[in-house]
Amino acid sequence: MKDRLLRKSVLTVADFPPVRWLFLKYGMRLGVDRFVAAETLPETLDKVRGLNEAGMHVTLDYLGENVLDSGQAEETAAIISGLFPAIQRLGLKANVSVKLTQLGLRMDRDSCLKHMERIVSEAAASRSFVRIDMEDSTVTQETIDVFRLLLRRFGPERIGLVLQSYLYRSEADAVQLGAGGTNLRIVKGAYRESSDVAYPDKRDVDAAYIRIVQAHLIHGGYAAVATHDPEIIDAIIRFSKDTGISRDRYEFQMLYGIAGDLQRDLVRAGYLVRIYTPFGRLWYPYFTRRMAERPANLWFVAKHMLRS
């Protein structure tokens, strides 16, 4: 309950125009670069190379969401499609994550689907993979609908989805989507949601998380276990050992700039670790969600403010 209140308060304050203005003007100097790789692609690709050299794989996230302009959605689709040849040319171990609202889902589902078809075709040409991030609950069903259409056309080697364990519906969604080796990233969930749709208590979110991953693995799916929670990570490793589920059926995913020691420990122990690496100029909403997850991050930013 406390966590939900904190998240709600931080996300509400972040919506105030003066707070937004301050960050947009001085962002990188205020510590945003701890969580966002860079604003430009060349700098980002350098960071990806560094992560690869440290034994980590990457999923690139070109930042942006809630696009309500068809020209901007088209431009975003072109930029994301262009990531695959760049990744291939440089021989990087990276795939791509996409938010459907950055491709205009809230405006026109059909053209959003067309943009996704272009992006996944480009990924297929490079033998790469695209994952659809999950956004707030107002678009959950449409996101799943678009994912199903793409899954039917391209298969689970090319397209995957995210489910959020805080939503009551996700356990049932995981069962329905799980057949045929579907690739699901499981997260706890990062948006402001009401108790009508999401567990208010963190313990319920954590328990649902473990249930969803375990059931998905048992049903033959591939799981991207995306969390920095050491207890959950231990529970999944123990479960996979006890049930004889091999390491190539799952991977761990963490966010750029968070829990670096845990990332390195898992790489050293021989697990596949993939770092979600956001880049681009539209970092504000992503950044505020990271603040809302952990009070210590506010202190980290305050220290940067005092220094600059």
CB 184 within 8 A of CB 221: yes
CB of residue 42 to ligand FAD, shortest distance in Å: 23
Which stretches of the chain are DSSP H helices? 2-14, 17-26, 41-53, 70-81, 83-90, 109-125, 140-154, 170-178, 202-218, 230-243, 260-268, 284-293, 295-307
Tokens of 307: 């220094």
> Please, which residue, 161 or 217, has the CB nearer to ligand FAD?
161
CB of residue 244 to ligand FAD, shortest distance in Å: 26
Tokens of 227: 């969390």
> Please, which residue, 113 or 254, has the CB nearer to ligand FAD?
254
Q: Catalytic pick from 61, 106, 131, 133?
A: 133
CB of residue 297 to ligand FAD, shortest distance in Å: 5
185 labelled catalytic: yes
| Amino acid present at 99 | K
Q: DSSP of 2-56, one letter per residue?
A: HHHHHHHHHHHHHTSHHHHHHHHHHGGGGTGGGTS-BSSHHHHHHHHHHHHHTT-
Distance in angstroms (rounded) separating the CA atoms of residues 49 and 58: 9
> Please, which residue, 41 or 205, has the CB nearer to ligand FAD?
205
Q: Which residues here bind ligand FAD, judged by CB under 6 A?
A: 133-134, 162, 164, 187-191, 226-229, 253-255, 258-259, 276, 290, 293-294, 297
CB of residue 71 to ligand FAD, shortest distance in Å: 25
Q: Catalytic pick from 7, 106, 131, 185?
A: 185
> Please, which residue, 125 or 161, has the CB nearer to ligand FAD?
161
Half-sphere exposure of 248 (CA within 13 A, CB side): 0
Show which residues are catalytic.
Answer: 133, 185
